[in-house]
Chains A and B, each alone.
Chain A
Amino acid sequence: MADDKDVLRDVWFGRIPSCFTLNQDEVTEREAEPYYLLLPRVSYLTLVTDKVKKHFHKAMRAEDVEEMWFEYEGTPLKWHNPIGVLFDLHASSSVLPWSITVHFKNFPDRDLLHCPSSSVIEAHFMSGIKEADALKHKSHVVNDMQKKDHKQLWMGLQNDKFDQFWAINRKLMEYSSEDGGFRYIPFRIYQTTSDRPFIQKLFRPTSPEGSAHTLGDLLKEMCPTALPPDGEPKRYQVVIHGIEPLLETPLQWLSEHLSHPDNFLHICVIPVPSD
């Protein structure tokens, strides 16, 4: 059985092979070849695609270039969601490499947030960490940290440094033994079939009687349609980091080991692929 710490590493180093192709309506001066990249599941599109931008800029005139944005099969990709979530939600049933279309014009600002610089990504990332700690520890742990600790979390993510990140993040994963877990579990459930971008509500890791809540308990409460009705074949997959954890898995354990760097459990509910 894998050591729990190995799980943390597997999550952190998860990669998705991707192929970036320029939108055919973009005006180019020369032919723009597709660009291949291994994308970290736990990072954000705008943080890891500088090379993509440089590559396509070489084929275009400056005046034809505006803010870069990405789209998959007609759906603008929300950079503020972790890459792994975008893939699992939109493209998990398709053949690899993940084929992403790159745009430099007509930014869809009714759908996508602008991302003019990495400080915007940092602010968004830290905002997630703070919110997660508000749920887990009433913000005590994150507020007791020094600014340099916050910075270290961000730098760890930005530079893909597992040890640097977890040196600080482990504090956010602690809880006192009498509590038996975090105050509330930070989670978001995504479903493409819903208008709502995600489901996020208060949910405790243990029941009032003290028994551990499982992934199944969470779904039953928050997204019952995700669970198969009795006796019928399942219609949805519940995916975290590209895998389907057993519904019996304790939620506290999932929160400690399968959270993204922002300390949220991002859960995708997707229709079972019809082959």
Chain B
Amino acid sequence: MSCALDERDFRRCCRLLLRRSKQLRDGWSWEPVQGSEEGYLRKTAVRSVFLDPEGSGSDSEPRASGPSGPGQQEEEEEAADTDRRVIEDEDEDEDEGVCGVSAGSSQVLQYEYHILHSCSYAAPVLYFRAFTQGDPCTHTHTHTHTHTHTHTHTHTHTVCWMLMVLLMVGCSEWFDCVLLRCKLGGATSSTTPQTKGGSVRISAKKRQEAPKILPADEGRSLSLEAMWSSVHPNYRLRLQSSPLNTISLQEHPLLGQPFFMLHPCRTEEVMRPVLQAAHEQHRPVNYVLSWLSAVGPVVGLDVPLKYSTLLSPAASPGSSSDTD
């Protein structure tokens, strides 16, 4: 059974997703390329995040560093732990275990998500970028994305979620704990280290400049460095030691601008059990939707559960999938 997604099937999955997105008013649109059949899905979202210029991820108390080995039992516990921790975060007034000392402020970020098709990997790929907006918010921040839906996921979604937790240890928490710092003013000095496993420090000079997030900082893009500096060192170690299973800054293949990209080379591993299960149960699967429900939350992109109710075979003939 092939886990490859060719371009034609990709477009078909996108059409289905789009139809449902319109019904749910979820904001996805199709951006064609120069009048050709090629294109990508696009969505923007505004998220209020808590910016912590003083503290860093390393100030937080250590978390479990991720699954230590194979074994379904272990994996499930790990995933459950993650979900639980995530929910706990939301209940706290401040991200105590995560932010550390701070006198930060909330900032509104404009996120843009693109889903493209990679012909090399026969898989969908997620690209995203974020910009600051002018308006600072009050200190009481809101998580505009939730993780509560993981507990009510269908079996398919739960499987995806667990697998993604395995593959991207802690990434979901990283974004959930909203330690995103924007790159302000000056940037890397020539001595900024990019270490394997150590904490990535923004240069001392920059920290002094960092504190205020003014309306004048409109349109600043999130830097890769700022992202990594917000990742807890334990997770950073794991992610940076296998740089191809992670997020990096890449040139958008259609637009030519810098975007963050979730590397697609492990997509088949994630999708295989999903497709297998669906195949055995004679259930149609929207490859792109299933994949998105797994990777999306990792980067703060919500995929409401209601999407999955589109694909009951009785509903419409066009929805049956032939991903086999």
Q: Whole-angstrom distance between the alpha carbons of A198 and B253 in the complex? A: 7
The stretch of A62-70, A171-179, A235-243 in contact with B is A62-70
Contact of B251 among A67, A78, A107, A123 (CB under 8 A): A78
Q: A80 — nearest CB in chain B belongs to which residue?
A: B251
Asked whether any CB of chain A lies closer than 8 Å to the CB of B142, the reply is no
CB-based nearest B residue for A104 = B190
Residue of A nearest to B187 (CB): A66
Closest to B223 in A: A114
Check B120–A134 contact: CB distance below 8 A.
yes
Closest to B248 in A: A123
Query: Taking the nearest CB of chain A, how far is it from the CB of B272, in angstroms?
Result: 14
Distance in angstroms between the alpha carbons of A104 and B103 in the assembled complex: 31
For the complex, give the distance between the alpha carbons of A169 and B256 in Å: 29
Which chain A residues numbered 118 to 153 have a C-beta less than 8 Å away from chain B? 119-120, 123-124, 126-127, 130-132, 134-135, 139
- Set A116, A126, A135: member contacting B194, Cβ < 8 A: A116
- Is the Cβ of A109 less than 8 Å from the Cβ of B186? no
Chain B contacts of A66 at CB under 8 A? Answer: 186-189
Map CB proximity to A onto B195-206 as digits: 1 under 8 Å, 0 otherwise: 010000000010
B254 contacts A67, C-beta separation under 8 Å: no
Q: Which of A55-105 contact B (CB under 8 A)?
A: 57, 62-63, 65-67, 78, 80
B250 at the interface (CB under 8 A from A): yes
Are B258 and A195 within 8 A (Cβ)?
Answer: no
Chain A residues whose CB sits within 8 angstroms of the CB of B34 once the complex forms: 195-196
Q: Which residues of B contact A213 (CB under 8 A)?
A: none
Residues of A within 8 A of B119 (CB): 200-202
- With a cutoff of 8 Å between Cβ atoms, the chain A residues found around residue B33 in the complex are 196
Residue ID in chain A nearest B192 by CB atoms = A116
Q: How far is the CA of A114 from the CA of B258 in the complex (A)?
A: 9
Which residues of B lie under 8 Å from residue A111 when comparing CB positions?
Answer: 257-258
B256 touches A196 (CB 8 A): yes
Once bound together, how far apart are the Cα atoms of A134 and B121, in whole Å? 6
Q: Which interface residue of B193, B221, B251 has the most chain A CB atoms within 10 A?
A: B251
Tell me the nearest residue of chain B to A57, going by C-beta: B190
Q: Across the interface, do A114 and B225 meet the contact criterion of CB distance under 8 Å?
A: yes
Residues of chain A contacted by B249 (CB below 8 angstroms): 113-114, 120
* Inter-subunit contact A139/B224 (CB<8 Å): no
Q: Mark A238-272, 1 if CB is under 8 A from B, else 0.
A: 00000000000000000000000000000000000
Q: How far is A2 from B89 in the complex, measured between Cα atoms in Å? A: 67
Main secondary structure of the interface of A (DSSP, over half): loop
Interface centre among A123, A132, A186 (most CB of B within 10 A): A123
Chain B residues positioned under 8 Å from A67 (CB to CB):
187-188
Closest to A197 in B: B256
Once the chains are docked, how many angstroms separate the CA of A134 from the CA of B119? 10
List, in ascending order, chain A residues with CB within 8 A of B265's CB.
Answer: 130-131, 134, 139
Q: Is B318 an interface residue (CB 8 A)?
A: no
Cβ of B188: which chain A residues have Cβ within 8 Å of it?
66-67, 114, 116
Q: How far is the CA of A202 from the CA of B120 in the complex (A)?
A: 7
**A117 on interface, CB distance cutoff 8 Å:** yes
Inter-chain CA distance A170–B243, complex, in Å, is: 24
Contact B256 A195 (CB under 8 A): yes
Using Cβ atoms and an 8 Å threshold, which residues of chain A touch B186? 66
Instruction: Give the contacts of B117-167 with A (CB-CB under 8 A).
Output: 119-121
Residue B101 at the chain A interface, CB threshold 8 Å: no
Using Cβ atoms and an 8 Å threshold, which residues of chain B touch A201? Answer: 119
- Which of A78, A116, A127, A132 gathers most chain B CB within 10 Å? A116
Residue A38, interface by CB 8 Å: no
Q: Which residues of B contact A109 (CB under 8 A)?
A: 183, 221, 223, 258
- Nearest-CB distance from B265 to chain A (Å)? 6
Q: How far is the CA of A257 from the CA of B141 in the complex (A)?
A: 56
How far does the alpha carbon of A130 sit from the alpha carbon of B258 in the complex, in Å? Answer: 20
Contact, CB under 8 Å: B190 / A110: no
Complex interface: chain A residues within 8 A of B251 (CB): 78, 80, 113, 197
Chain B residues within an 8 Å CB radius of A78: 251
In the complex, the answer to whether A110 meets B253 with C-beta atoms within 8 Å is no
User: Is residue A15 contacting chain B, with contact meaning CB distance below 8 A?
Assistant: no
Contact code string B213-241 (vs A, CB < 8 Å = 1, else 0): 00000000101110000000000000000
CA distance A65 to B120 in the complex (A): 39
A78 to B256, CA, bound (A): 10
Q: Does B80 contact A (CB under 8 A)?
A: no
Contact B194 A119 (CB under 8 A): yes
The residue on A at minimum CB distance from B219 is A110
Q: Is B43 an interface residue (CB 8 A)?
A: no
Partner of B258, one of A112, A134, A198: A112
A-B contact sample (13 more), CB < 8 A, given A113-B251, A134-B265: A66-B186, A109-B183, A110-B257, A113-B250, A114-B187, A114-B249, A116-B194, A126-B243, A127-B263, A131-B120, A197-B251, A197-B254, A198-B253
B interface residues, Cβ below 8 angstroms from A? 33-34, 119-121, 183, 186-190, 192-194, 196, 205, 221, 223-225, 243-244, 248-258, 263, 265
Which 7 residue pairs are nearest across A and B when measured between Cβ atoms?
A: A197-B256, A117-B194, A123-B243, A131-B120, A134-B120, A66-B187, A202-B119
